Copies of this chain bind each other. A is one copy, B any other.
Amino acid sequence: MNAASRSVSVKDVAARAGVSLGTVSNVLNRPDRVSDPTRVKVETAMRELGFVRNESARQLRAGHSRVVAYVVLDAANPFFTDVAQGVELSAGLADLWLFICNSNNDAERERAYLDLLQQQRVQGILITPVDPDAEHLREVAGRGTPLVVVDRTQQGLDLCSVAVDDVLGGRLAVEHLIDRGHTQVAFIGGPLSIGQVRDRWQGAQQAWADAGLPPESLHLITTSALTVVEGRGAGERLSGLPSRRRPMAAFCANDLLALGLLQQTIGSGRRVPDDLAIVGYDDIEFASAAAVPLTSVRQPRHELGRTATELVIDEATNPAHTHTQVTFTPELIARTSTLG
> Which residues on A are within 8 Å of B, measured CB to CB?
1-8, 50, 52-60, 63, 65-67, 69, 75-76, 78, 81-82, 84-85, 88, 97-102, 104, 112-113, 116, 118-121, 138-139, 141-144, 228-229, 231-232, 259-260, 262-263, 266-267, 285-286, 288-293
Contacts and interface: CB of A to CB of B under 8 A. Distances in A.
23 contacts: A3-B142, A3-B143, A5-B143, A5-B144, A7-B121, A8-B143, A50-B143, A52-B143, A52-B144, A53-B119, A55-B56, A57-B60, A75-B100, A85-B102, A97-B112, A97-B116, A98-B102, A99-B100, A231-B289, A232-B289, A262-B289, A262-B291, A263-B291
Given A52-B143, A53-B119, A100 B100 contact: yes
Contact of A2 (B119, B143, B259): B143
A228 B120 CA distance: 37
The interface centre, meaning the residue of A54, A65, A67 with most chain B CB atoms within 10 A of its CB, is A54
Nearest to A143: B50
Contacts of A76: 78, 81-82, 85, 285
Contacts of A143: 1-3, 5, 8, 50, 52
A217 to B, nearest CB: 28
A144 B113 CA distance: 26
Contact of A121 (B55, B65, B99): B55
B102 A88 contact: yes
A28 to B, nearest CB: 12
B289 A259 contact: yes
Given A54-B119, A139-B50, A143-B2, A285 B228 contact: yes
Contacts of A84: 75, 102
Contacts of A290: 263, 290-291
Given A81-B75, A99-B101, A142 B54 contact: no
Contact of A85 (B3, B75, B231): B75
The interface centre, meaning the residue of A138, A285, A293 with most chain B CB atoms within 10 A of its CB, is A285
A197 to B, nearest CB: 20
Contacts of A58: 119
Nearest to A99: B99
Nearest to A50: B143
A116 to B, nearest CB: 6
